[in-house]
Amino acid sequence: MAPGQRPDSLVLENQIAQLESATLARIHAAKNLEELEAIRVDVLGRKGSLTQFSKEFGKLTPEERSSAGKSLNAAKQSLESAFDERKQGFASEALEERLEAEWIDLTLPAPGTSPGSLHPVTRIQREIEDLFTSLGFAVLDGPEVETEYHNFDALNIPPEHPARDMQDTFWLSDGNLLRTHTSPVQVRGMERLGPPLRMIAPGRVFRNEEVDASHEHTFYQVEGMMVDRNVSVANLIYFMKTLLSAIFHREVTVRLRPGYFPFVEPGFELDIQCLICGGGGCQVCKQSGWVELLPCGLVHPNVLRMSGIDPEQWGGFAFGLGLTRLAMMRYGVDDIRLFASGDLRFLRQF
């Protein structure tokens, strides 16, 4: 356009359009962030080619100026967004490249020590503690070294009672003994807490027996007791069924049959229907369909009386469950000696 000549607004707008499309092509072709920035300065910078167009506007009529201005702004906006888009494209490419380079083999072993494990008896014991705690039972502890009184006499087993033969006892040089069952904790619980009482007492017990695959001189039991105004055999069966269903993670069928334990009257042996054969008979249940699991019964009035509880006012049930045996059943352990072996090949499996 010759100087001094009044510019044609249409021509101007046409030139803006041409610059826009040429610039878009350049943006697209830019190879990196630096190239892109150079193009931006060249076109949109303060001295950029698009910016220059506005200098021509003074020569236009107000109407033309408004129309050309609109075109210029539209071109500017379209280019700016094209620049941004391309810029973001470069950034995400760079990020992808970095991430790609940062590959880690997660199948490698984790550094540091791998976790250890809890003893299988501990695990079973916790399940039972948690269940009974949720039913409002206290978890009590008692000494492993007991007095003859608490282990026998207070449980209605006076000296020379033949029931003392049922539990071969370790006697100690200080005149005490190693508790043959967790039942003395019942007595201590009644003495300390009085009725009403709901308690369990898990712990280590001792019997002077030769050790073989199914006998140990040291094993774990949990004792349970409830003393309240109206406690019946029906209540006892309810708790035992609840306990065993929780332990074996399925509905179990139980049966009570007479069993003699001097601290309960009536006393029961509780059997569960064999979980292996479902009651049809197999090797585990010696073809009977039932597996003897725990002794229980209604607390003998003498036992209540000796602990200062009036048997006419209060009654209760008690049970004793072999934790070690339960762990054997639960995990299919066929040799009881493994529990005290300290053998990590065994213990690490839990």
Q: Does 277 bind another protein (CB under 8 A)?
A: no
Binding mask 225-264 for Zn ion (x = CB under 5 A): ----------------------------------------
d(CA 150, CA 208): 18
Q: Does 274 bind Zn ion (CB under 5 A)?
A: yes
> Among residues 282, 301, 302, 331, which is the contact residue for Zn ion, using CB under 5 A?
282
* Nearest residue (CB) to another protein, 72 versus 294: 294
Exposed/middle/buried for 191, CB within 10 Å: 0-12, 13-18, 19+? middle
DSSP letters, 213-258, are TTB-SEEEEEEEEEEESS--HHHHHHHHHHHHHHHHTS---EEEEE
> What would the two tokens of residue 52 be?
């220059």
Q: Does 310 bind another protein (CB under 8 A)?
A: no
* Nearest residue (CB) to another protein, 282 versus 347: 347
The piece of 71-79, 101-109, 116-124, 274-282 that touches another protein (CB under 8 A) is 116-124
Cα angle value 248/254/260 (rounded, 5°): 115
> What would the two tokens of residue 113 be?
């020590």
Q: Which does 210 bind (CB under 5 to 8 A by kind): Zn ion, another protein, none?
A: another protein
* Nearest residue (CB) to another protein, 72 versus 154: 154
Number of residues that bind another protein (CB under 8 A): 85
Q: Does 344 bind another protein (CB under 8 A)?
A: yes
List Cβ neighbours of 47 (8 Å cut-off, separation of 6 or more): none
Find the shortest distance in angstroms from Cβ 292 to Zn ion: 12
Pairing, β 197-206 against β 138-139 = parallel
d(CA 135, CA 144): 26
Q: Which does 269 bind (CB under 5 to 8 A by kind): Zn ion, another protein, none?
A: another protein
Q: Does 273 bind another protein (CB under 8 A)?
A: no
The SS3 assignment for 287 reads coil
Q: Which of 231, 61, 40, 262 is nearest to 159 (CA)?
A: 262
Q: Does 148 bind another protein (CB under 8 A)?
A: no
Q: Does 285 bind Zn ion (CB under 5 A)?
A: yes
Q: Which does 285 bind (CB under 5 to 8 A by kind): another protein, Zn ion, none?
A: Zn ion
d(CA 87, CA 33): 7
Q: Which residues bind Zn ion (CB under 5 A)?
A: 274, 276-277, 282, 284-285
